[in-house]
Structure 1
Amino acid sequence: MTRVPFTASCSTSIHKCCLVNTINIGTTSLAAFPNSLALPFVPHTKATSVRRISVVAMSDLSKSTVLVTGAGGRTGQIVYKKLKERSDQFNARGLVRTQESKEKINGDDSVYIGDIRNTETLASPIQGIDALIILTSGVPKMKPGFDPAKGGRPEFYFEDGANPEQVDWIGQKNQIDAAKAAGVKQIVVVGSMGGTNLDHPLNSLGNGNILVWKRKAEQYLADSGIPYTIIRAGGLQDKEGGIRELLVGKDDELLQTETRTIARADVAEVCLQALKFEEAKFKAFDLASKPEGTGEPTKDFKALFSQITTTF
């Protein structure tokens, strides 16, 4: 019987470019061969049949598979869209809560419906990804009956089962645990500035202490051992991105300046750029921007991340 040559071992670097399917020869299943190598010669006999040979393009294997959770949110939609637009670099996945949200972002099979509070619904979308971008957050709702004409301040509440402890703490913890179990290589989290101040107005909304729970989840991520990037964004604006100079800071120092806002599109861009540079890993920072027309629009993200010295 003619033997089929086969290399018994494969280095870590080669594993990344191996074919993901197997070649079934008769009753023998061989691990797939590196794309750069020729397939072994298989003699054709009555006793031997090649059932399936699947070839995966090298370009697909070199791309990162990235899941963005909260893909139906205002910032999450932008991140998901950017991932899809850069299909030469990323295989995009999204996670939303409802079919309605999936349709809103024109989601195909790459968009999953799930609940971050339910660990069972996280297994499928997280399996096989390289990076996770967390954009889930508790959302306060205004109590009905508020009339601005009468003065006073509106009151807010969180829906049952969707308060910050459940969403921003337990929900993020579930995602981090699932990602760690799946061997995810990097997690990017978008949070908010203001977490150093327990009396920050955001904490009073619906008595949710939302910044407290966000910081608790961020600390859990920092302690997890997974390479991470924690982006604490300033006030989010629905404006065009890529036209302002971005600013990074620490410990809410930017809140004491006039530059404490940022376009959602710029936050989304920083999320993607963080996946490309080692300088962004094991970093936590505040993010804002100069007003449009002042300074130079940020283009060198490696230099931006290199400015950051804080790990939490």
Structure 2
Amino acid sequence: MRLPYFPLSGGAPTATFKPLKAQASSNQEGEIIDKDIVFVAGSTGRVGSRTVRELLKLGFRVRAGVRRNQLAEALVQSVQQMKLDGEAGKPETQPISNLEIVTCDLEKKGSIIPAIGDASVIICSIGASEKEVFDVTGPYRIDYKATKNLIEAATLAKVNHFILVTSLGTNKIGFPASFLNLFWGVLIWKRKAEEALIASGIPYTIVRPGGMERPTDSFKETHNLVLAKEDTYFGGLVSNLQVAELIAFMAKNKRLSSYKVVEVIAKQTEPLKPLEELLGKIQPQREILGEYEVDSRPNVDSTSIATETFSRMTAPKARPLSPYFMYDDFKPPSSPTPSKAKASSKVTSSSASGD
């Protein structure tokens, strides 16, 4: 079932444009996942909004999750201004027809699955607002709890790929991680979100970008991407646009990016390399063999691992011999054993009373 997308409005976009709330259906109702639909959480942020546009360039249909429709006005206007080259002999395509705005508050679990709908890929680039620096609960509520809510909903929706954007320095101690954690432990909560995603069983990619505050979109003209495995870098810079381009590429190349934790910065001295080459050098934490997910271990026959995994899944559980097995953990309290010190003191006192 194809959901309603934004119609192209005539003329130039205006600030009074009001996005409509799209009614998404739940995968729990028997909907088939559409491999061309991506749900983006944090779609109005600096990384998220650029990611939406990059996904549209690659031909995806994008479902942008926002807490309130009014927050999406700038995103809709920027997409309306996009023009993509069509095929030879055909007019330019209009990306706005492939954008859908859905209201979704990740702190309210009930709104998440309907917003995901039949999306096959989820991209999460949310984070506690830097403007609300005095909100002690921000990193816990947004970077961890809201992200965890989305992960749980994605598990129920049976999505095929979950891309999570966290931060360089996550899972590290020392500068600048210790400095960033002064913002109410933000990197600690981001790490907790990473752990929740890895434990969920969903094919995942975790992207840890360097600092994105200073570099503008033109940063890529002088600085080329560097990708590394987890816990490699302590610092570095990269632009929001470079991260967005990488995320969109990962969504398009699931097998190449799944089960990887990728740190990304950009260097002026680094030669320009294709993303396939950069990403291909990072080893996945797991690999997919057919429908079975298998830990990637060197010098081990993958087929035998898959067979072993299947055997464990299908082997019947041993039935306890005793009908009282549920009481095995229930033990009556035992009387304390007198210590030697107490025993010796009793002997001494009895000896004294005997005198």
TM-score interval, normalised by the smaller of the two chains: 0.5 to 0.7
After TM superposition, the score normalised by the length of structure 1 is 0.67
Q: In the comparison of the two structures, how many residue pairs are matched?
A: 229
Is the aligned partner of 1:261 residue 2:237? yes
Q: In the aligned structure 2, how far is the partner of 1:69 from the partner of 1:113?
A: 10
Q: Contact (CA 8 Å) 2:34, 2:119: kept in 1 or not?
A: no
One-letter amino acid matched to 1:157 = F
- Structure-2 residue corresponding to 1:116: 106
Percent identical among aligned pairs is 27
The answer to whether 1:302 aligns with 2:276 is: yes
Specify the alignment match of 1:280 in structure 2.
Answer: 257
Please state how far the C-alpha of 1:305 moved relative to its aligned partner. Answer: 1.3
CA distance, structure 1, for counterparts of residue 40 and residue 220 of structure 2: 21
Which of 24, 36, 39 pairs up with 1:67? Answer: 39
Cα 1:63–1:224 shift into 2, 3 Å: closer
1:212 pairs with 2:188: yes
| Secondary structure class of the residue paired with 2:234 | helix
Alignment of 1:114-193 (within 5 A): 114-141=104-131, 156-158=133-135, 163-193=138-168
**Cα pair 2:225 2:270 within 8 Å, conserved:** no
Report whether the alignment pairs 1:238 with 2:216. Answer: yes
Question: What letter corresponds to residue 261 of structure 2 in structure 1?
Answer: A
Equivalent position of 1:11 in the other structure: none
SS at 1:269 equivalent: helix
Following TM superposition, by how much is the alpha carbon of 1:100 offset from its aligned partner in structure 2, in angstroms?
A: 2.6
Instruction: Provide Cα deviations, 1:210-237, integer angstroms capped at 9, x if missing partner.
Output: 1001111111111111111100000013
Deviation per CA, 1:27-85, whole angstroms, max 9, x where unpaired? xxxxxxxxxxxxxxxxxxxxxxxxxxxxxxxxxx9861001110111111101122233
Aligned to 1:151: none
Residue 248 of structure 1 corresponds to which residue in structure 2? 227
* TM-score normalized with structure 2 length: 0.60
Give the aligned residue type for 2:260: K
- What is the aligned counterpart of 1:90 among 40, 60, 64? 60
Deviates more, 1:208-217 or 1:98-107: 98-107
CA distance in 2, matches of 1:225, 1:251: 19
Alignment of 1:17-36 (within 5 A): none
Structure 1 residues 138, 267: CA separation in 2 closer, same or farther (over 3 Å shift)? same
Deviation at 1:181, TM superposition (A): 0.6
1:304 deviates by: 1.3
Counterpart Cα distance in 1 of 2:243 and 2:229: 16
Q: More displaced, 236-245 or 279-288? A: 236-245
In structure 1, the gaps of 5 or more residues are 1-19, 22-60, 143-155
1:265-309, Cα deviation, whole Å (9 max, x unpaired): 010011111123212100002110112xx33333x2221111112
2:70 is equivalent to residue 100 of structure 1: yes
Aligned partner of 1:280: which letter?
S
CA distance in 1, matches of 2:241, 2:277: 19
Contact 2:67/2:104, CA 8 A, preserved across alignment: yes
How far off is 1:130 after superposition?
0.7
Instruction: Give the root-mean-square deviation of aligned CA atoms.
Output: 2.4
1:310 deviates by 5.7
Deviation at 1:241, TM superposition (A): 6.2
Please state which structure has a larger fraction of its residues in helix: 2
Equivalent pair of 2:40/2:122 in contact (CA under 8 Å): yes
User: What amino acid does structure 2 have at the position aligned with 1:309?
Assistant: Q
Q: Distance in 1 between matches of 2:34 and 2:188?
A: 38
Q: Is the 8 A contact 1:140 1:158 kept in 2?
A: no
From the CA coordinates, give the structure whose radius of gyration is larger. 2
The 3 A distance-change label for structure 1 pair 62 and 135 is closer
Residues 62 and 158 of structure 1: CA distance in aligned 2, closer, same or farther (over 3 Å):
closer
Once residues 253 and 284 of structure 1 are traced to their aligned partners in structure 2, the CA distance between those partners, rounded to angstroms, is 11
The equivalent of 1:149 in structure 2 is none
Alpha-carbon distance between aligned partners in 1 of 2:247 and 2:237, rounded to the nearest angstrom: 16
Structure 2: which 5+ runs fail to align?
Answer: 3-32, 78-95, 287-355
How far apart are 1:251 and its partner, in Å?
A: 4.4
1:195 deviation in Å? 1.6
